Amino acid sequence: EVSYKDFAEKLRVEGVFPNYTIANNWYPKIGRFINENDLKSMTKVCVLGADIPERLNTKNIIGEKIKIAGETFEVIGVLESKPSFGHFRRDERVIIPFTTAQRRVFNKDYIDAVKLLFREGTDMKMAENKIREILRKRHNLFGIAPDDFRIITPDLAISVFTKTMRTINVFLLAIALISLIISGVIIMNLMYANIEEKAPIIALRIALGASSKKIIEHYLIMSLFIAIISGIAGWILSLFLMEIISFFTPLKPIFSWWIFLLSFLFASFTGISFTLIPAIRASQIDPAILLKSL
């Protein structure tokens, strides 16, 4: 738990080495980062994520004292803002010296994660195998014993991301298809209700010489108009939702005219497809129905 005056909340606390900034390309925007002296002396200093000073309701946080797990730490820097993905926001974490975290906060003698940077041209597969070999030996894992650690390589990260995006795309496609079918059924029911209500008028038009083609065209144009209006309303709503999402996340909306036009084509196709049967039924109304309505 991290506390400061009236603020008290559980935040992610990481014990790191001074080269953390280089490995993550993440530097302080004010103050300084942890150095070798902090590491050797196990000093109780900390660097805050970009969002934390605002949450602590203070602008001049450098030099202030905060409590981490009951221990008092001095704030020596604030990191620049970084985009976040996943459960833990990068701008809402607290960085402390690794030795301080190990001995004074978490009381453990092992490392949770290591980030390695390789020179350009390094054979990543060979490097991965060598790292696995070293870790298995250190962890006393032999033969068919499974790894008790995980190595995340760029290829693995890309593969996981690709699979996740594929799953999301299939899920979104399913939602889109279900939405189109529901919209089509609603339009069909609206047309059937309209035909039922306007049956005498349709019969009169047929009696006065309106062809079946004209009746069908009338209802197809009506459904097309409904589909276009619904498509515009849907786009306005989606843009509004994207703005809300971008406000709370680092994701930024990207407008594409191709997607815009494609969505209208699908909406129009859905409207016309589900109106065709009611329109054909309307064109087949017997003019004799006029006599029944009199």
Q: What is the β-pairing status of strands 7-9 and 2-4? A: antiparallel
Q: For the residues of 45-99, what is the DSSP string, one character each?
A: EEEE-TTHHHHTT-S--TT-EEEETTEEEEEEEEEPP----SSS-GGGEEEEEHH
CB atoms within 10 A of CB 294: 5
CB atoms within 10 A of CB 135: 15
Q: For residue 121, what pLDDT is reported? A: 82
Q: Which two tokens stand for residue 63?
A: 């030099």
Percent of the chain, pLDDT > 70? 94
Q: For residue 32, what pLDDT is reported? A: 94
Any idea where the domains of the chain sit in the sequence? 2-105, 124-151, 155-293
Tens-place pLDDT, residues 235-257: 888 888 878 877 776 667 677 77
Tens-place pLDDT, residues 79-90: 998 876 555 678
- Angle of helix 212-248 relative to helix 154-207, nearest 10 degrees, comes to 150
pLDDT confidence bin for 291, thresholds 50/70/90: low
Q: Which amino acid is at 113?
A: A
Q: For the residues of 173-209, what is the DSSP string, one character each?
A: HHHHHHHHHHHHHHHHHHHHHHHHHHHHHHHHHHHTT
Q: Which amino acid is at 17?
A: F
Residue 22 phi, psi (nearest 5): -70, -45
Q: For residue 293, what pLDDT is reported? A: 57
Tens-place pLDDT, residues 117-149: 888 888 888 888 898 898 899 888 888 888 888
Task: Please state, rounded to an integer, the average pLDDT across all residues of the chain.
Answer: 85
Q: For residue 36, what pLDDT is reported? A: 94
Radius of gyration for the chain, computed over Cα atoms and rounded to the nearest angstrom = 32
Residue with tokens 């009506």: 222
Which own/partner pairs from 197-205 qualify as long-range (CB within 8 Å, at least 24 positions apart)?
199/285, 199/289, 199/293, 200/289, 200/290, 200/293, 202/282, 202/285, 203/285, 203/286, 203/287, 203/288, 203/289, 203/290, 203/293, 204/287, 204/290
pLDDT confidence bin for 282, thresholds 50/70/90: confident
